[in-house]
Amino acid sequence: MKNPLRSPGHFPYVRGLVLAAFLLVLTWVVGWAHPAAVGNRPVVVEVDLKDMVEPLSAGFVADGILHANAIKAGAVLLNIDTPGGLESSMRDIVQAILESRVPVIAYVAPSGARAASAGFFILLAADVAVMAPGTHAGAAHPVFLGAPDLGKTMETKIENDTAAYIRSIAERRGRNAKLAEDGVRESSSYTEEESLQGRLIDAVAGSPSEIFQKFDGKTIKRFDGSTTALNLHDPVLEPFAMTSWQRFLFYIVDPNVAFLLAGLGVILLYVEFTHPGLVAPGVAGAIALVLALFAFHLLPVNVTGVVLLLTALVLFILEAKTPSHGVLAAGGVVAMVLGALMLINSPWPEARIRLSTALGVTLPLAVIAFILTRLALAARRAKAITGSAGMIDLVGIAQTDLEPDGKILVHGEIWAARAKARVSKGARVRVRQVDGLTLEVEPEVHPV
Annotation marks residue 157 as catalytic: yes
Phi, psi at residue 252, to the nearest 5°?
Answer: -75, -20
Strands 75-81 and 104-108: parallel
Order the strands of the 114-116 sheet from edge to edge: 114-116, 136-138, 189-191
Q: Give CB contacts under 8 A, 24+ apart, made by 391-395.
A: 391/431, 391/434, 391/439, 392/431, 392/432, 392/433, 392/434, 393/430, 393/431, 393/432, 394/430, 394/431, 395/428, 395/429, 395/430, 395/431, 395/444
For the packed helices 303-321 and 327-343, what is the interaxial angle rounded to 10 degrees? 160
Contact 363, 395 (CB under 8 A): no
Element (H, E) at 433: strand 428-435
Identify which of 203, 151, 161, 150 has the alpha carbon closest to the alpha carbon of residue 184.
161
Active-site residue, selected from the candidate residues 57, 117, 189, 195: 117
Strands 75-81 and 37-38: unpaired
Contact 101, 127 (CB under 8 A): no
C-alpha distances in Å from residue 446, one per residue of 247, 272, 343, 406, 441: 74, 45, 63, 22, 15
* DSSP classification of residue 392: T
Q: How far apart are CA 248 and CA 445, in angstroms?
A: 70
* 85 three-state secondary structure: strand
Q: What is the 3-state secondary structure (H, E, C) of 340-365?
A: HHHHECCCCHHHCCCHHHHHHHHHHH
Element (H, E) at 443: strand 438-443
Active-site residue, selected from the candidate residues 7, 88, 157, 425: 157
- All residues at 6 or more sequence positions from 426 whose CB lies less than 8 Å from its CB, including other chains: 397, 398
- The residues that are catalytic are 117, 157
